[in-house]
Amino acid sequence: MLHIEIDGKPLEVEHGSTIIDAADKVGIAIPRFCYHKKLSVAANCRMCLVQVEKFNKPLPACATPVADGMKIFTRSKAAVEAQKSVMEFLLINHPLDCPICDQGGECDLQDIAVAYGASGSRYAEEKRVVLNKNIGPLISTDMTRCIQCTRCVRFLKEVGGMQELGLVGRGEHAEITAYVDKSVNSELSGNIIDLCPVGALTNKPFRYSARSWELTRRPSIAPHDGLGSHIEVHVKDNKVMRVLPREKESINECWLSDRDRYSYVGLNSPDRLKVPMIKHNGTWVETDWKTALEFAAGQIKDITNQHGADSLGVLASPNSTMEEGYLIKQLANGLGCGNVDYRLRQTDFRLDGKRVGIPWMGCNIQEIEELDRILIIGSNLRNEHPLLAQRFRKAVANGAELSVVSPLDNDPLMKVAHKVIVRPNDMVNVLGQILKAMSGLQRLSLCLPPSLNALLETITVRPNTQAMAESLAGLAGPDGLVDLVAPKVGLFIGNMALSDPRFTEMYSMMEAIGGICGAKGGILPAAANSTGMHFMGVMPNATGMHARAMLEVPRKAYLLLNVEPELDCQHAALAKAAMAQAECVVALTAYKSEALENADVLLPIAPFTETSGTFMSMEGRVQSFSAVTKPLAECRPAWKVLRVLANTLGLDGFDFDSSEAVKNAIFKGEKPSTVVWRNLNNNLKELVEIEVNIKSDGLQRIGEVPQYESDPIVRRSVPLQKTKYNIRPMARMRAEQMAQLDLVEGDIVLATQDKGSAVLQVKLDNHVAMGCIRIAASHEQTIGLGDLMGDITIEKTSKELYKPYETTMLKVVA
């Protein structure tokens, strides 16, 4: 510990901290622009100059390490003079167009100028003008306002993983710009708006729609991926105007993914369902709640009375709250129906009943940073968990070795030490090879169950998997210096694997590998409340049907919670057909959409901003939130709708008067964290029968869900749909694959899967494993197709059959 003094205040600080760290810890304010605790130190703005005893020049507090006995003065005459002069310099070329600047009222430059600057400027010369740049649909630029602090540059490089902005030119001509004709494409790009201390980078969709002081700020939880980011929703006149991160070091730090930041636009979509609707002779009519609920209850009752309770299928989205999930399960069970499931994008349910506890990510989010060795299986991390990917990036920057086994070779924007890019069935074999190599390395094969050992006999370890195994065992790689004695290892399995019919094999292998090397890890659940849904058992009971079976063996009636069947289910064509044949489909939904054309009753529910509720994140964190606005029009919180529906159905035990009451019922009055920690467990009770040499000669579909198509809200965010991630689904394949199929880029093909097909354009994509065709899912153009991951055939077809896709949503808005 070092002893220093700041402004006469004696302090003890850690060795290696800077003056600004020391001052921040005790709340002594030092003005700054370029410094940010999460970014590297640039020391370029010079706003943080302070006086240090024995130095004749003022020193930048952000870049000056403290030394024992240092006496620092932040408000002495010399310090104030230096700060004032820097402030003056910063303002001479600044346009001072605060009245028309979106940053006005929340601008560091304004605030610091008032606190540390002079009242007037001595600058009387011409001011510099910098041309604005178009860096995409999410961020607008006013580059004349830029003070060249390079926070945006450093963020994209250090946190985003790719330097998409840079300071080009010299001196006064230095300006921030993107690559020629390129936009900023990072899926974390919006953070540079928060980082920009001036109004140079502002929120494009929000621009000119409100002043910061008109907004009411309310806390909430991000509703898309399983990270559970803390957000602050800004509301004006009962409308969500924008979303910002709420700092939570252990979850989202001070960042937010673009999906969490910009999806709110979907809340204000013209698609919103405002009143209950009933289909009468094929046409939709608006009605009141009472009629709608009575109609829905009547239908459900009639059908279940007539055909038995299991003629009903209940599908709930994992983006729904715990309260909603709990009630819908109670409702189904109350009717005697066990066909309930939240696992809409899963196809392999062989692990049901074999798990010891609730599957989760197996460690907490912060622990990722400390890992030494990481294996990621079947995940396009930046697409599935854009912000979580950044934690892995930090781990790798800290020296962790990352290995990847996947059918896709997308750049995670971090160094990958080892990778095997193969078709999904071969992934199982590859994992088996790693397991075999590891058990050899650690002489631990005896610990494996005999059945597994027998399976491994049939496998030959290749050099690349041997290298992965050695990496996971902590052995030094080619450029490593020393072997790690007890490496912290993390194994994670992602969305693509979760949707794969060979998930059980992959998971079992991962478990076994983890067992050998003492790894942490588990699944990276896809949605905001996947873990919560599992926790409450929003899944079939012993005799019930899982999500896939409910579609394969169609039900007479369906109750849907927050689901657009053909976009949210694993098998789009099956989902569509099942809904079409049903006698009655009751949909609790926030949107009216074509995907619900086969429904019979639409009940307008409140999205997460208009209701209270709880999500359980991938690390098992139970996070409740309140509504930030009143429900739109006739919309109602789903928990209330489910309560009334249950009552109307004559079921008992639904007398909840608040979402908290439902939450209490879920946790039976106990402290949620206690209950959760007791139940999270990735282990399997017993080994499931698996196969490691899965022969599959046919082509495999890789049906990724694009990140801006993942759920009904984000699908309707126009700015996100305008980003380059809104790529029209195409039949993507690598060059060798194209040659093998005798295709060229631009050809039109008919892609056929079990029970469905789509006409698509061929596109070159060398990130796709040989033997695979990558076709995005959750999209109007591919709702004719089947399984996300599974067999597919491709044949060339006539160009006339191809209908260029135009999104209807953008038309509505334009």
Q: Which residues bind ligand FES (CB under 6 A)?
A: 32-35, 43-48, 60, 62
Residue 237's binding partner, choosing from ligand FES, ligand SF4, another protein, none, with beta-carbon cut-off 5 to 8 A by kind?
none
Contacts of 251 by beta carbon, 8 Å cutoff, 6+ apart: 227, 228, 229, 230, 365, 617, 621
β pairing state of 622-625 and 772-774: unpaired
Encoded tokens for 219: 């806390």
Helix (H) or strand (E) holding 543, with range, is none
530 — alpha (psi -120 to 50), left (phi > 0) or beta? Answer: alpha
The distance of Cα 177 from the centroid of its chain, to the nearest Å, equals: 27
Q: Which residues of this chain interact with ligand SF4, rule CB under 6 A?
A: 146-152, 176, 195-198, 200-201
Residue 392's binding partner, choosing from another protein, ligand FES, ligand SF4, none, with beta-carbon cut-off 5 to 8 A by kind?
none
* Residue with smaller CB distance to ligand FES, 19 or 616: 19
Residue 88's binding partner, choosing from ligand FES, another protein, ligand SF4, none, with beta-carbon cut-off 5 to 8 A by kind?
another protein
Residue 151's binding partner, choosing from another protein, ligand FES, ligand SF4, none, with beta-carbon cut-off 5 to 8 A by kind?
ligand SF4
674 — alpha (psi -120 to 50), left (phi > 0) or beta? Answer: alpha
CA-to-CA separations, 338 to 312, 552, 638, in angstroms, rounded: 9, 16, 21
Residue 112's binding partner, choosing from ligand SF4, ligand FES, another protein, none, with beta-carbon cut-off 5 to 8 A by kind?
none
Distance CA 143, CA 709 (A): 32
| Share in percent of the chain as helix, strand, coil (round to 5) | 35, 20, 45
- Count of C-beta atoms within a 10 Å radius of residue 115: 11
Q: From the CB of 60, what's the least distance to ligand FES, in Å?
A: 4
Residue 176's binding partner, choosing from ligand SF4, another protein, ligand FES, none, with beta-carbon cut-off 5 to 8 A by kind?
ligand SF4
Q: From the CB of 148, what's the least distance to ligand FES, in Å?
A: 11
Q: From the CB of 94, what's the least distance to ligand FES, in Å?
A: 16
Residue 2's binding partner, choosing from another protein, ligand SF4, ligand FES, none, with beta-carbon cut-off 5 to 8 A by kind?
none
Q: From the CB of 29, what's the least distance to another protein, in Å?
A: 19
Angle at 258 between CA 564 and CA 418, to 5 degrees: 95
Residue 152's binding partner, choosing from another protein, ligand FES, ligand SF4, none, with beta-carbon cut-off 5 to 8 A by kind?
ligand SF4
Please give the torsion angle defined by the CA atoms of residues 740, 745, 748 and 750, in that order, rounded to the nearest 10 degrees: 40
* Residue with smaller CB distance to another protein, 125 or 686: 125
Q: Which residues of this chain interact with another protein, rule CB under 8 A?
A: 41-47, 49, 56-58, 60, 63, 82, 85-86, 88-90, 92-93, 122-123, 125-126, 128, 147-148, 166-174
Q: From the CB of 91, what's the least distance to another protein, in Å?
A: 9
Residue 172's binding partner, choosing from ligand FES, ligand SF4, another protein, none, with beta-carbon cut-off 5 to 8 A by kind?
another protein
* Residue with smaller CB distance to ligand FES, 112 or 585: 112
Distance CA 46, CA 58 (A): 10
DSSP letters for 346-393: ----TTTTTBSSB---SS-GGGGGG-SEEEEES--HHHH-HHHHHHHH
Q: From the CB of 20, what's the least distance to another protein, in Å?
A: 13
Q: Which of 270, 279, 327, 344 is nearest to 586 (CA)?
A: 279
* Residue with smaller CB distance to ligand SF4, 148 or 317: 148
* Residue with smaller CB distance to another protein, 153 or 195: 153
Residue 48's binding partner, choosing from ligand SF4, another protein, ligand FES, none, with beta-carbon cut-off 5 to 8 A by kind?
ligand FES
- As a residue count, the chain comes to 814
Encoded tokens for 389: 């990917």
* Residue with smaller CB distance to ligand FES, 58 or 784: 58
* Residue with smaller CB distance to another protein, 82 or 574: 82
* Residue with smaller CB distance to ligand FES, 45 or 523: 45
Relative orientation angle of helices 424-441 and 450-457, to the nearest 10 degrees: 110
Please give the torsion angle defined by the CA atoms of residues 787, 793, 798 and 800, in that order, rounded to the nearest 10 degrees: 0
* Residue with smaller CB distance to ligand SF4, 203 or 311: 203
Residue 126's binding partner, choosing from ligand FES, another protein, ligand SF4, none, with beta-carbon cut-off 5 to 8 A by kind?
another protein
* Residue with smaller CB distance to ligand FES, 176 or 496: 176
Residue 32's binding partner, choosing from ligand FES, another protein, ligand SF4, none, with beta-carbon cut-off 5 to 8 A by kind?
ligand FES
Q: From the CB of 50, what's the least distance to ligand SF4, in Å?
A: 18
DSSP collapsed to 3 states, 687-706: CCCCCCCCCCCCEEEECCCC
Tell me if 153 sits within 8 A of 191, measured CB to CB.
Answer: no
* Residue with smaller CB distance to ligand SF4, 200 or 561: 200
Residue 99's binding partner, choosing from another protein, ligand SF4, ligand FES, none, with beta-carbon cut-off 5 to 8 A by kind?
none
Sheet holding 239-245, edge to edge: 216-221, 230-236, 239-245
Phi, psi of 446 (to 5 degrees): -65, -25
* Residue with smaller CB distance to ligand FES, 44 or 471: 44
* Residue with smaller CB distance to ligand SF4, 155 or 262: 155
Q: From the CB of 61, what's the least distance to ligand FES, in Å?
A: 6
Q: From the CB of 476, what's the least distance to another protein, in Å?
A: 14
Residues 608-621 as b/e (b if ≥16 CB within 10 A, e otherwise) read bbbbbbbbbbbbbb
Distance CA 520, CA 492 (A): 9
Encoded tokens for 499: 């949707």
